[in-house]
Structure 1
Amino acid sequence: MTDSNFLPKPSIGRRQALALSGAFLLSPLAQKLGVSGIAKAEAAEQKTITITDELGREVTLKAPIKAVYPDLWYQTEIVRAIGAGDTIVAIDQTSNPKKNTANKDYFAKFASLPDAGNFNGPNWETIAASGAEVFFTRRNAPWQDAVEKLKPFGIEVVVVSTWDPKVLRAQLPNIGKIFGAEKGAADLAQLYDDIDKVLTDHLKGVEPKKVYFENNADFVTSLPGSGWHDTIVLGGGKNIFGDITIANTGSASVHTYTVDPVEIINRNPDVIIHNGIDGQAAGYAPWDQELLAGQAERIVNRPGWNAIQAVQNKNVFVFSNFFFSALGKQIGALAVAKWLYPDRLADVDVDAYFARWLKAQGIEPRPVADYAYKLGA
């Protein structure tokens, strides 16, 4: 059966129910719990709750849930960080340590789980058979398809874009309720708020510096509606292409919007921040500093770019998304502030906040220097 014709009928017949029960008994959750464990889990007290997700959708479910499919590594990280990693019963390709070897240690615990494949077009059968109770997804995902295809199997769809800093902070209490992990969610909220206070205190009265953000390809930037744009603003900067708006903020275009290189020169940014190196996957494994330096050199050697203030002052940064997107990109916002205003944030140790995030993941801390480079540093 292919994804295209996987369209369950509105109600589950006896045959479908038996098939689903059989699939669940073979699922990683069932194998992990064993028969007696399943009975114990089913007997655990669950209460019906209704939460309002990011899109304003009211979702009613039994909580705490015991099985979830997070559809992207951002989602996987948040579930694990609040202490609910054991509820993950299937993963997408970005959370599969066998496919993303840069994360072979970071996501090692999930290596044996079924992989539903591409996060923009997952294998719905794999998700349905996993025993998941919730499809935990983002606004720029095929969530409408998920509602249609997974509802007959009793799988609820919760939309929380965990790559969006403001959305993540607003939804952390709901995430905690869903998983019965209120304390873990509160701890993450505290980390977020601690960073927010640092930004508020240290950036008071600054004249925002102009920032050109480039998203892992030449002359590709991000616009309002993307978490990338938010990190610039939260970090005390002004996105030089922040005046371009797209009505559908769920569109991929807000994250990867191609611009005219001449216009970048004309808008003359004070700082250039580039995400990624083409062909290198972001992950826990440290990045090669020579590759980071090479990317920075390619940027400054573009024709006519020696006229840009950022190039003249060597304010060009290249980074790995692994560290930058931590905690819904709130760690990235702190890094932006440190890069833009090093004197104002001289007493702020970004590594200390990043270490708190990695501790929540159950992973040994690593310095931001493993994932970022400044031209000429």
Structure 2
Amino acid sequence: MVRKLAIVVAALCCTALRPAAAAEITDIAGRNVEVRAPVGKVILGEGRLLYGVAALDTADPFKRVVGWRDDLIKNDPDTYATYRAKFPKGDTLPTFGGAKEGTFDVEQAISLHPDVVIMNLEAKAATEDADLDGKLAAAGIPLVYIDFREAPMKNTERSMEILGQLFGEEERAREFNRFRAAETKRVTDVLAKAAPAKPDVFIERAGGFSDDCCLSFGNENFGAMVEIAGGRNIAGTLIPGTFGTVNPEQVIAADPDQVIVTGANWQASVPGGAWVGVGPGADTAEAERKLAALMRRPAYQGVKAAGGNDVHAVWHQFYNSPYQFVAIQQIAKWLHPDLFADLDPEATFRQLHERFLPVTYRPGYFVSLAPKT
């Protein structure tokens, strides 16, 4: 034990003493960006990038962060509270609005003298329209794009590699990616061998967040997760991009076998809303009650999934994190319970926390309605 501790301390010391050197990084947007790495001061243009950062800077996920967007605080307050309890520095960091909303304060960002600004790919068009990239470049601050949201099944592995390059944690990033790939194969290998029939699935994005129905996913993000998990995403042929809307009549006509609603704690944005509050430490009984209420809307009248209670809710923030493989396991278990009777997505997520994250796992990320007999 003493020897193991000495090795860990030595490794940390070596990382801390590693001098920064010029490095060219090809980001997710295909841009070649010169950065002095490992970086010491980072602005996170998306607060939920902390999900990936924490897997690399596990001892202190805020140690490089000098500013961040306020979306994690607003859209995932339970995770933020868990991190804040252990790392109070999170409460002292300057916060930013979003580039897409036009509220990212570039002058404030420059004043913090970061070594790099990291943005999610979705912000690229808005960043360029507002010339934020040009202003940062004029101040000698590189901007790097990664992606856990627009095409996460395509870009997550490379995005973690980029974070590893920036932080001087390349091997840690490779270790995370190996774990992610191995856990995904626990689903795909079984499906490849069994070749089961694919149930029709409708994913409702952020059900109950607003009165509108029904936001969903095309062939990426949760849409791709459904396909990988052995289902057929009915919105895949209706939505040309990653995100879009399916009208209630289309849901009724498709008559899905299973419905999966994404949910989270959105009390800050929609107080007392109809959203399903799954996530760390969630009140699952309340989440089930609200999920059942959503199935009474017109879009689900006469739909076989709602009639048989083949209805589930999954943590929305899987859509914007490198943890999608956990959702894939749970969806596979919902769609093919006999094939995946021994698969335990909760145990997988707990193992992810134990191996890579600095906070303790708290269940509450998934709920299902009791089947009707």
Counterpart for residue 69 of structure 2: 92
Letter in 2 for 1:112: T
Distance 1:321 1:190 in 2: 24
2:216 to 219, 222, 226: 222
Counterpart for residue 258 of structure 1: 245
Letter in 1 for 2:146: V
Distance 1:94 1:284 in 2: 16
Q: 1:10-89 to 2 correspondence within 5 Å?
A: 45-83=19-57, 85=61, 86-89=63-66
1:111 to 82, 91, 95: 91
Number of equivalences: 327
1:362 to 355, 358, 372: 358
Task: State the Cα RMSD in Å.
Answer: 2.7
Counterpart for residue 155 of structure 1: 141
Counterpart for residue 179 of structure 1: 167
Distance 2:75 2:146 in 1: 26
CA 1:165–1:111 in 2, change beyond 3 Å: closer, same or farther?
farther
Contact conserved, 1:232 with 1:238, CA < 8 A, in 2?
A: yes
Counterpart for residue 10 of structure 1: none
Contact conserved, 1:176 with 1:184, CA < 8 A, in 2?
A: yes
Counterpart for residue 230 of structure 2: 236
Counterpart for residue 272 of structure 1: 259
1:327 to 322, 332, 336: 322
Contact conserved, 1:53 with 1:160, CA < 8 A, in 2?
A: yes
Contact conserved, 1:92 with 1:118, CA < 8 A, in 2?
A: yes
Distance 2:178 2:220 in 1: 23
275-284 vs 55-64, which moves further: 275-284
Contact conserved, 1:292 with 1:372, CA < 8 A, in 2?
A: no
Q: 1:128-167 to 2 correspondence within 5 Å?
A: 128-141=110-123, 142-144=126-128, 145-163=131-149, 164-167=152-155
1:328 Cα deviation (Å)? 4.4
Structure 2 residue runs without a partner (length 5+): 1-15, 269-276
* Other structure's SS at 1:293 match: helix
Structure 1 residue runs without a partner (length 5+): 1-40
Percent identity reads 24
1:313 Cα deviation (Å)? 2.5
Listed one character per residue, the Cα deviations across residues 260-314 of structure 1 (whole Å, up to 9, x for unaligned) are: 2111010011110011168436786422223312222223323473422212321
1:344 to 336, 339, 342: 339
73-82 vs 321-330, which moves further: 321-330
* Other structure's SS at 1:106 match: helix
96-105 vs 340-349, which moves further: 96-105
Letter in 1 for 2:256: P
TM-score normalised according to structure 1 size: 0.78
Distance 1:123 1:311 in 2: 45
CA 1:52–1:225 in 2, change beyond 3 Å: closer, same or farther?
farther
Listed one character per residue, the Cα deviations across residues 168-203 of structure 1 (whole Å, up to 9, x for unaligned) are: 113332321121001220121022111121121222
